């Protein structure tokens, strides 16, 4: 049975899984689903049309599913925030539900959100992403699996940040950022995320070598993006890791407005 503190306000239509804990002064609105084993500490607000899986931990003063910060949003719109399993939302996290009828903001599983981090409407945050203190993702942006946005890093709307990207603190991007890279300052890819690649348990030496070659063709070979992509397509022996890099470049090349944005340029290269 759920454990609900007497000072909490829980709408009668909310569906609570086994062993859910709702702490003092929390508010859970209507049409909310909270999976088994979730814990809401004090003063958490879960707005309407939010669903979350099992095992999520939500710390104080977090607001999940708030209305989009979009001047054209109609409050009567039926839109959603969908959250996976085993996520941690620390103090003061804010995540907006989607703008647009029937659409969703989507959070994967096993993500970690530090104090004051934010994701806007229609954003997609994939599995195992880490959002460090005060980092922010704007509307319609996508953050790939196992990416890390360091403190105060920001991602512009309609941008794609690839898998295992690592940002410097205070970095910002209004461009698409390919997988496995590091970004710093504003719109600056500086290197591959060599440490992250080395530590990743599912990456082989062959994977790392192929990713390094894909990075070289994209950023160091003085090729246009189209020519770099053609060179990468010739490597039919590449495995899925380097294939994700190549597919990301192709996706950027084929993007249509409002997602038609440039690939983040290389500004300064560390040895990789």
CATH architecture of 203-254: Up-down Bundle (1.20)
pTM: 0.95
Over residues 56-80, mean pLDDT: 97
Q: CA 189, CA 71: separation in Å to the nearest integer?
A: 32
What gap in Å lies between CA 208 and CA 96, rounded to an integer? 36
**pLDDT the model gives residue 267:** 83
**Whether residue 7 has pLDDT greater than 60:** yes
Contact 14, 30 (CB under 8 A): yes
Dihedral of alpha carbons 200, 206, 207, 210, sign: positive
Residues present in the chain in total: 272
Read off the pLDDT of residues 132-162 as tens digits, 9 standing for 90 and up.
999 999 999 999 999 999 999 999 999 999 9
Could you report the per-residue pLDDT of 169-197, keeping only the tens digit for each? 999 999 999 999 999 999 999 999 999 99
CATH topology match: 3-140 vs 203-254: no
Q: Does domain 3-140 have CATH number 2.160.10.10?
A: yes
pLDDT at residue 225, rounded to an integer:
87
Q: Residue ranges of the domains in the chain?
A: 3-140, 203-254
H or E element, residue 124: strand 124-125
């Amino acid at each position: 049975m759920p454990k609900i503190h007497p000072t909490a306000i829980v709408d009668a239509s909310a569906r609570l899984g086994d062993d859910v804990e709702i702490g003092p002064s929390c508010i859970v609105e209507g049409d909310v689903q909270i999976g088994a084993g979730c814990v809401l500490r004090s003063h958490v607000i879960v707005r309407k049309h939010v669903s979350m899986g099992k095992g999520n931990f939500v710390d104080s003063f977090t607001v999940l599913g708030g209305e989009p910060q979009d001047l054209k949003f109609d409050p009567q719109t039926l839109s959603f925030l969908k959250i996976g399993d085993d996520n941690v939302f620390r103090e003061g996290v804010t995540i907006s539900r989607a703008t647009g009828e029937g659409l969703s903001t989507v959070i994967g599983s096993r993500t970690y959100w530090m104090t004051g981090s934010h994701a806007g409407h229609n954003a997609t945050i994939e599995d195992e992403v880490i959002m460090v203190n005060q980092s922010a993702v704007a509307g319609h942006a996508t953050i790939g699996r196992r990416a890390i946005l360091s403190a105060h890093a920001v991602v512009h709307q309609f941008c794609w940040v690839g898998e295992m990207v690592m940002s410097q603190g205070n970095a910002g991007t209004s461009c698409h950022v390919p997988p496995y890279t590091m970004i710093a300052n504003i719109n600056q890819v500086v290197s591959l995320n060599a440490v992250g690649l080395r530590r990743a348990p599912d990456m082989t030496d062959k994977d790392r070598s192929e990713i390094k070659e894909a990075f070289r063709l994209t950023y160091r070979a003085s090729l246009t993006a189209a020519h770099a992509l053609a060179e990468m397509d010739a490597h039919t022996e590449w495995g899925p890791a380097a294939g994700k890099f190549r597919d990301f470049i192709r996706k950027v090349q084929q993007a249509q407005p409002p997602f038609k944005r440039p690939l983040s340029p290389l500004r300064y290269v560390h040895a990789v």
